[in-house]
Structure 1
């Protein structure tokens, strides 16, 4: 049985940990409100712009002048953009994303990976550390996007991806991230950024929209498609940021509860140990008194 001092030290340690986890929960909750507001504001715009993008790609694929954004090439070289967090203590948030990337490579791009033709572009320190330590081919120029998460910085990263795809450095670009659903739930998403998948049309073309292009179709498409891709990437980063804060808030709340349960057990153990020590002292005093009487 541990001594009273050992149990008391453990109680003090757990109480300190509980205060830290409670403070981290409050910080994550404050950040979550801000990031949730940002993703709620951008989602409708991003979804509508993505629908327009797919319709434009479908219309362009049906015409004689197909744009290079939607041309499907043989998938020899693949770029996987993975969005993680910079810090831990957020439950299985980072593990889910990393496992999703490894599963994607194993199921779809194992042949390319064996030839060294799968490149990972990590955003966030956790994914960067994981894939660089395991000798994956990586592009780490944009790993610190979270330190200054602005549309301008995201645009620079997307410009690199677009230019690399256009130059033939990559034949396909996939995006893996956690989508924010609520505080306790994050959904792993895998989306194809490039080439753009055209909107599916039915036999009577009810899902396809006809557009009037001013000043001309080529200028609209070349300007709108990069803008839409940047918005989609920015939305994914905001989604991941909100999901990270939600996961951290949930993890710290659970850690605070577990610390409370542990404190109950330690206090019970402390009381039992103290009672046993008092009982032992009483028995020693009674035994000594009996020895004096019989002497």
Structure 2
């Protein structure tokens, strides 16, 4: 059994760790509120944008409108992988890289990776072709920053460098739940044609012009939404991980306190026995 000094040292060390994990939990909770508000406000806009494209395209052949809608043989694909720049968030980052490895294990075409987050870059830089690393977007996250590199992706796609583009990220469900999602960004998924849809509209400007403006904006919004989802999910995962770490540290500290008290009681008992034995020895002389 460790001596009393060692046990006291471990109890003090665990107490310091608890203060750190508790503080990190509170910081993550504060950041989560802001990130959650951002993604909750963006989702209706993104959904309405998709709905507009579906409605306007109901009487239009999208394949003839934009290069971003035409299916073609897949020779090379780009995967936009979104993680965080920091760890201590449980399985938040590893779940995304694991999903990427599973997907890449089932493809028979060339692949390039665009990383958003240092953890994704560290995971793929030695084994995969990295198209670009945009981990700095988290420094000042905004739609314009995300749109700038998304435009480059769209340009390369239209020029034939890629035949498909996907985004892999953690979707924010709630503070304790994140879900890894893989979504196709390019070509955009075509809406199902329905005979029940009323297409008797007069558009000004034309439906083609409207779609030419909406489709690029929808692509940029989809990537931006994935990153906002990931940010909110990251803070939720870190808050949950730090809460569990604090609870585990408290349980360990409680066990050590019990061990310390037992060791202290044993030491006191031994001292009493030595005193009594000494007194008895003196009496017998």
Q: TM-score, normalised by structure 1?
A: 0.91
Q: 1:139 deviation in Å?
A: 2.1
Q: 1:156 deviation in Å?
A: 0.4
The within-5 A match list for 1:6-45 is 6-45=6-45
Q: 1:218 deviation in Å?
A: 3.4
**CA deviation vs aligned residue, 1:29-77 (integer Å, no higher than 9, x gap):** 10000011111111101111123234555644378x3421111111110
Partner of 2:68: 69
Return the alpha-carbon distance in structure 1 between the equivalents of residues 223 and 86 of structure 2.
Answer: 21
Aligned match for 2:186, one of 176, 190, 194:
194
Partner of 2:272: 282
Partner of 2:172: 180
Return the alpha-carbon distance in structure 2 between the equivalents of residues 2 and 232 of structure 1.
Answer: 57
Q: Aligned in 2, Cα 1:68/1:181: closer, same or farther, shift over 3 Å?
A: same
Matched, 1:170 2:162: yes
Return the alpha-carbon distance in structure 2 between the equivalents of residues 27 and 78 of structure 1.
Answer: 38
The within-5 A match list for 1:117-266 is 117-133=110-126, 135-202=127-194, 204-206=195-197, 212-266=202-256
Partner of 2:79: 80
In the alignment, structure 1 segments of 5+ residues that lack a partner are none
In the alignment, structure 2 segments of 5+ residues that lack a partner are none
Q: Aligned in 2, Cα 1:253/1:211: closer, same or farther, shift over 3 Å?
A: farther
What is the root-mean-square deviation in Å for CA atoms of aligned residues? 1.7
Q: 1:105 deviation in Å?
A: 1.2
Return the alpha-carbon distance in structure 2 between the equivalents of residues 24 and 141 of structure 1.
Answer: 27
- Stretches of 4+ aligned residues off by more than 6 angstroms: none
Give aligned pairs, total. Answer: 285
Return the alpha-carbon distance in structure 2 between the equivalents of residues 17 and 173 of structure 1.
Answer: 43
